[in-house]
Chains A and B, each alone.
Chain A
């Protein structure tokens, strides 16, 4: 049972345009959400996170939106750059849990075309 779902395996956008990556979750205990970027043969690199007490968090070109009622979050990248091309993983955690383990989606491959 996939508790974190990224339904788009891939996304292609033009340089300078907006990239929107989506993520859905099913576990109501999740209250902390993270986005990671991963290049081949490297570990995931943290991008941005959001707590369930917020509905938006912004960091430079990256903004994460959280819709708790829909159990949906999205990552917006504006403007997209060719260096943003990578696999993006959505992850969720129960911050009140004792171990803070992350549950990941399957990832979305973003390709930004020059």
Chain B
């Protein structure tokens, strides 16, 4: 097990384009989280899955954002019509029911 894997590591996109990120959690973890970190801030919670069910979404997750976790394994986070304010590090984490949060290395998004 190589931990939580996120792809791509870096993404540069033009404003208005759509982007999709992927997260592969630790295989035995049934909980999966997305966080966003901007410069000078700590990670902020975006959304949470337990198995394939998306159980909570932050108000930070506008209608341009959508996350899925088909079959309760990997997850994708899509941002439509990107804006410069979407530039951030997008972090995925997974945990078991008993805790033990593990973060991936993140996807750095730059919107130009």
Q: Which residues of A line the B interface, CB within 8 A? A: 4, 6, 32, 34, 36, 41-46, 89, 91, 95, 98-107
Top-8 shortest CB links A-B: A104-B42, A43-B103, A101-B45, A99-B48, A43-B105, A44-B103, A104-B43, A43-B106
Interface with A: B13-21, B61-69, B76-84, B94-102, which one? Answer: B94-102
Contact flag A103-B45 (CB < 8 Å), given A43-B4, A98-B55: yes
Q: Which residues of B line the A interface, CB within 8 A? A: 4, 6, 9, 31, 33, 35, 40-45, 48, 50, 55-56, 91, 93, 95, 99, 101-106, 108
* B31 and A100 contact, CB distance less than 8 A: yes
- In the bound assembly, the distance between CA atoms of A46 and B4 in angstroms comes to 13
Contact flag A100-B42 (CB < 8 Å), given A43-B91, A44-B91: no
* B106 and A107 contact, CB distance less than 8 A: no
Q: Which residues of A contact B42 (CB under 8 A)?
A: 4, 6, 89, 91, 104-107
Q: Which residues of A contact B101 (CB under 8 A)?
A: 34, 46, 100, 102
- Tell me if A's interface is mostly helix, strand, loop or mixed: loop
* B108 and A100 contact, CB distance less than 8 A: no
Q: Which residues of A contact B45 (CB under 8 A)?
A: 101-103
* Nearest residue, chain B, Cβ from A39: B105
26 contacts between A and B (CB under 8 A): A36-B103, A41-B9, A41-B105, A41-B108, A42-B105, A43-B91, A43-B104, A43-B106, A44-B43, A44-B91, A44-B103, A46-B102, A89-B43, A91-B42, A95-B99, A98-B55, A99-B31, A99-B48, A99-B50, A101-B48, A102-B33, A104-B42, A104-B44, A105-B42, A106-B40, A106-B42
